[in-house]
Amino acid sequence: MKVTTKSVISKTAAIDVPENLEMEAQRLGYSQTPVCSIEQAIGSAEKTSVSVQGKVRKIDTLKKKQGSANRKEFQLEDGTGSIRITLWGENIKQLRGKSPGDSVRVVNVETNHYNDSVSLNSTDFTRIFKERVVSKQKNKQKSKKKGQKHFVDEHRVELIQRVSNIEPILEELKEKIIQQEAYDKIRAQQTPQEKMRALYNGPLKAGDAAKEAFYQSLKKHEKILIEDLS
């Protein structure tokens, strides 16, 4: 498209963008390290850049001061454990609108080892995204309209994006629905999202029995995520 002296630019009415699309656009437009489970973050080396997701369990009510910098802490939990996250300076503002019980994705934080504990510190590139939660009543209505569509098909996009504790799931499904060759191929993928796509594009195409085995494993290893989607 080319703009010339004869081009006319008109002001249009504001566009109402659905909240879930706006959040997804923010995620896609912002560079972030791959999401890992909290257990994996705790096992990472000092100052490793990670992204985690889970449920907010506790938020400090007061800001604390360390030297000239303000800091505020909150506790995040997923199906593998919980971890303390410290936000520094301007990053404290990202807790606005967040409450205990909210599901969030925290991207680009660094591991901090102190004595025998591991926590996460914010960086200049840290962002906190509130995950969209679908109510149980809404899900039941959608399932009724879509007939016999399986849970893992209905929530394919969200599961691919949000499942982080994929390793024990793959181990549990090995030999049940995943043969050794497919297992090795999936494990060779670099990120949880890539492994989930490979799982969907391979073993889960076998049918409802495979999907049900996957669903039962999800309930065990991604309990909080499944509760959010159910």
Q: What is the pLDDT of residues 38-89, one digit of tens each?
A: 999 999 999 999 999 899 999 987 777 766 678 899 999 988 899 999 999 9
Average pLDDT, the chain: 82
Domains delineated in the chain: 19-130 (2.40.50.140), 136-229 (1.10.533.10)
β-pair type (81-88, 117-130): parallel
Residue 135: pLDDT above 60?
A: no
What value does the mean pLDDT take over residues 210-216?
92
Rounded average pLDDT over 108-113: 95
pLDDT tens, position by position, 13-41:
656 545 445 545 555 555 668 788 999 99
- CA distance linking residue 119 with residue 105, whole number of Å: 16
pLDDT score at 6: 67
Q: What is the pLDDT of residue 83?
A: 95
Assigned token pair, 157 = 């996009």
pLDDT at 46: 94
Phi-psi region of 115 (alpha: psi -120 to 50; beta: other; left: phi over 0): left
pLDDT of residue 38: 93
User: Would you state the pLDDT for residue 145?
Assistant: 43
Average pLDDT value for residue range 79-102: 91
Burial label for 130, CB within 10 Å (0-12, 13-18, 19+), is: middle
Q: Is the pTM of this model over 0.85?
A: no
The predicted structure's pLDDT at residue 16:
57
- Tally of helices (H runs) and strands (E runs) in the chain: 10, 6
**pLDDT value at residue 222:** 87
> Is the pLDDT assigned to residue 121 strictly greater than 80?
yes
Q: What is the mean pLDDT of residues 175-186?
A: 89
Q: Report which of residues 200 and 64 the model is more confident about.
A: 200
DSSP 131: P
User: Minimum mean pLDDT among 131-145, 154-168, 208-222: which range?
Assistant: 131-145
Angle between helices 166-173 and 180-187 (to 10 degrees): 170
